[in-house]
């Protein structure tokens, strides 16, 4: 066999190797070293596109090193409706995604420090059923709010979610009221609540806790909206511009305080908290 002809196995090995070294930016299409991309917290070094982070990656770049203490990590979904859809059962779905991600729910909650200030934090993880708001998610977000309430601490939620979790039906809708009830109580003690909207924050999550921060912050380019783009296009029978429902669009319409680059986020949060005077 001539030297320039490769077997299928060789081609696949090479492809795999190159995938380990290179990654393609989903926005500008540039091929960048994977190492550069991850060292840059999944932000494209060429175009500043903000890729998704796992909950623990987010915690790693947000909290002071070693300060994180997780709360309610054993809470996981239940299947209250015995839900089965065209693709199988919700139970199997949960099992698969738990195995794949190592997560128990779509949110990780806990305590930690930001530039030495104590905070309670909840971070959603889009990999777990699209970050959907299920009963376990709602409970963890409420419990974290209650912890902030009981210990008089600021509360920060990082959202990344497509919205309510259909597989739990009406009970997932009720998580919106449940989490907001927890947020509402923070006002009683004048406790700060900061909402950070990351890509994507839509549906039942944007229509509940994510939009009622004392301060609402989003990452550049993040999809932030209520209804899905296709649903809206079908309703109004026209194409929507690319900029529709981006963080910048929502900032322009007055529903965000700022759009902040990921590398500046921690210091921005610390700066805001420094004005909390109680």
Give the footprint of other proteins on this chain (CB under 8 A). 72, 74-78, 80-81, 83-87, 105, 134-136, 138-139, 142, 164, 166, 168-178, 180-185, 187, 203-204, 206-212, 224-228, 231-232, 235-236, 240, 244-245, 253-255
Residue closer to other proteins, measured from CB, 22 or 244? 244
Where do we find the tokens 């990344």? Answer: 160
Tokens of 67: 């300060």
Let me know: does 81 contact 98? Beta carbons within 8 Å. Answer: no
For residue 50, the Cα-to-chain-centroid distance in whole angstroms is 12
> To the nearest whole angstrom, how small is the minimum distance from the Cβ of residue 175 to other proteins?
6
> To the nearest whole angstrom, how small is the minimum distance from the Cβ of residue 43 to other proteins?
25
* Rg for the chain, CA atoms, rounded: 20
> To the nearest whole angstrom, how small is the minimum distance from the Cβ of residue 214 to other proteins?
11
Residue closer to other proteins, measured from CB, 158 or 209? 209
Residue closer to other proteins, measured from CB, 44 or 191? 191
211 membership: H or E segment, kind and range: none
Residue closer to other proteins, measured from CB, 92 or 187? 187
> To the nearest whole angstrom, how small is the minimum distance from the Cβ of residue 52 to other proteins?
20
Instruction: Give residues with Cβ within 8 angstroms of 175, minimum separation 6.
Output: 133, 134, 135, 137, 138, 141, 164, 204, 208
Among 118, 110, 107, smallest CA distance to 64 is for 118
- Cα separation, 266 vs 247, in Å, equals 18
> To the nearest whole angstrom, how small is the minimum distance from the Cβ of residue 105 to other proteins?
8
Let me know: does 126 contact 137? Beta carbons within 8 Å. Answer: no
Among 192, 191, 257, smallest CA distance to 224 is for 257
> To the nearest whole angstrom, how small is the minimum distance from the Cβ of residue 161 to other proteins?
12
Residue closer to other proteins, measured from CB, 32 or 227? 227
Let me know: does 59 contact 73? Beta carbons within 8 Å. Answer: no
Residue closer to other proteins, measured from CB, 113 or 185? 185
Among 221, 192, 196, 191, smallest CA distance to 206 is for 196
Let me know: does 62 contact 121? Beta carbons within 8 Å. Answer: yes
> To the nearest whole angstrom, how small is the minimum distance from the Cβ of residue 37 to other proteins?
31
Residue closer to other proteins, measured from CB, 112 or 163? 163
């Amino acid at each position: 066999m001539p030297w320039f002809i490769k077997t299928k196995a060789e081609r696949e090995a090479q492809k795999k190797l190159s995938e380990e070294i290179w990654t393609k930016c989903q926005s500008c299409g540039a091929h960048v070293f994977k190492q550069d991309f991850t060292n840059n917290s999944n932000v494209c070094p060429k175009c500043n596109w903000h890729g998704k982070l796992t909950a623990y990656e987010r915690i790693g770049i947000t909290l002071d090193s070693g300060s994180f203490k997780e709360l309610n990590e054993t809470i996981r979904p239940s299947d209250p409706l015995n839900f089965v859809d065209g693709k199988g059962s919700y139970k199997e779905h949960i099992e698969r995604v738990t195995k794949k991600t190592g997560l128990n729910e779509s949110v990780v909650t806990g305590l930690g420090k930001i530039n030495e200030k104590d905070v309670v934090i909840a971070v959603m993880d889009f990999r777990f059923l699209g970050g959907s708001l299920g009963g376990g998610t709602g409970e963890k977000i409420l419990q974290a709010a209650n912890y902030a309430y009981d210990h008089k601490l600021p509360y920060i939620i990082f959202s990344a979610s497509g919205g309510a979790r259909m597989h739990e039906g009406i009970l997932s809708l009720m998580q919106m009221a449940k989490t907001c009830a927890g947020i509402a109580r923070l006002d009683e003690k004048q406790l700060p609540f900061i909402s950070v909207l990351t890509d994507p924050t839509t549906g039942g999550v944007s229509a509940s806790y994510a939009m009622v921060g004392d301060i609402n912050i989003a990452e550049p380019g993040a999809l932030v909206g209520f209804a899905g783009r296709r649903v809206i296009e079908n309703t109004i029978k026209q194409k929507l511009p690319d900029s529709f429902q981006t963080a910048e669009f929502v900032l322009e319409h007055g529903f965000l305080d700022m759009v902040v680059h990921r590398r500046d986020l921690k210091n921005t949060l610390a700066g805001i908290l420094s004005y909390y005077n109680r």
